[in-house]
């Protein structure tokens, strides 16, 4: 499994324009529909990152298609998945199914936990009785990476996806590997088959 994160603030306007110009007309037309420049930049950067990692994994000219629930794939190519939040985009490429989610670190309302957490996870998110946004983001990204791994999408009741016990995060989700990276800027979760 290969994973990379790109800070869009490190991409110059000239480089962004070069990546956009090199894309097929339908991709350029899709990017032009974004109203906010940051959304457009994130989409272009995620596309560039995904295609770079896919080429490194052996897909010479990756043709990206969209499957059920919007999950992207490359016919006869390696599996991949992308995510973005704030100033960051990320991509994971793997020889089997893979799901990835990245969330910029920020304060989160405690009330949100009741909608996605199991009872044990509610204990995990509130050590000593005080809600911890970082722990919540660890849970959120793990669960979202799982539904992106399966292709089910966000219609799943996250309370049915236990990702932590009261004393800590699980290392696997339903027998699949869960890797997390926590930085001062973001929380990243990747779910994949360990091969």
Over the stretch 14-39, which tens digit does the pLDDT of each residue have?
Answer: 999 999 999 999 999 999 999 999 99
* Separation of alpha carbons 53 and 46, rounded Å: 11
Q: Alpha-carbon distance 73 to 78, whole Å? A: 8
Lookup: tokens for 74: 């490359």
Q: Record the pTM.
A: 0.95
- Express each pLDDT in 138-193 by its tens digit: 999 999 999 999 998 778 999 999 999 999 999 999 999 999 999 999 999 999 99
Using one digit for the tens of pLDDT, what is the confidence trace for 96-145?
A: 999 999 999 999 999 999 999 999 999 999 999 999 999 999 999 999 99
pLDDT for residue 155: 83
Report in angstroms the alpha-carbon separations of 194 from 1, 51, 172: 8, 23, 10
Q: Which DSSP category does 37 fall into? A: H
User: Encoding tokens for residue 63?
Assistant: 């043709």
**Does residue 68 register a pLDDT over 90?**
no
Distance, in Å, from the CA atom of 83 to the CA atom of 8, rounded to the nearest integer, reads: 13
Give how far the C-alpha of residue 182 lies from the chain's centroid of Cα atoms, to the nearest Å.
13
Q: What local confidence, expressed as pLDDT, does residue 70 receive?
A: 82
pLDDT score recorded for residue 119: 96
Q: For residue 195, what pLDDT is reported?
A: 57
């Amino acid at each position: 499994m290969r994973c990379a994160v790109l800070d869009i603030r490190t991409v110059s306007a000239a480089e962004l324009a070069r990546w956009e110009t090199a894309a097929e007309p339908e991709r350029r037309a899709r990017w032009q529909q974004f109203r906010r420049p940051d959304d457009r930049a994130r989409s272009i950067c995620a596309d560039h990152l995904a295609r770079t990692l896919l080429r490194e994994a052996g897909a010479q000219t990756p043709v990206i298609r969209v499957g059920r629930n919007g999950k992207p794939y490359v016919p006869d190519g390696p599996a991949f998945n992308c995510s973005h939040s704030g100033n960051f985009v990320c991509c994971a490429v793997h020889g089997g199914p893979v799901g990835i989610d990245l969330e910029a670190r920020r304060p989160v309302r405690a009330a949100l936990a009741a909608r996605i957490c199991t009872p044990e996870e509610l204990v995990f998110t509130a050590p000593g009785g005080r809600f911890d946004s970082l722990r919540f983001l660890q849970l959120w990204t793990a669960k979202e990476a799982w539904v992106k791994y399966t292709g089910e999408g966000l219609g799943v009741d996250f309370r049915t996806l236990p990702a932590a016990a009261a004393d800590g995060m699980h290392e696997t989700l339903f027998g699949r590997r869960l890797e997390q990276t926590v930085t001062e800027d973001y929380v990243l979760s990747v779910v994949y088959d360990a091969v």
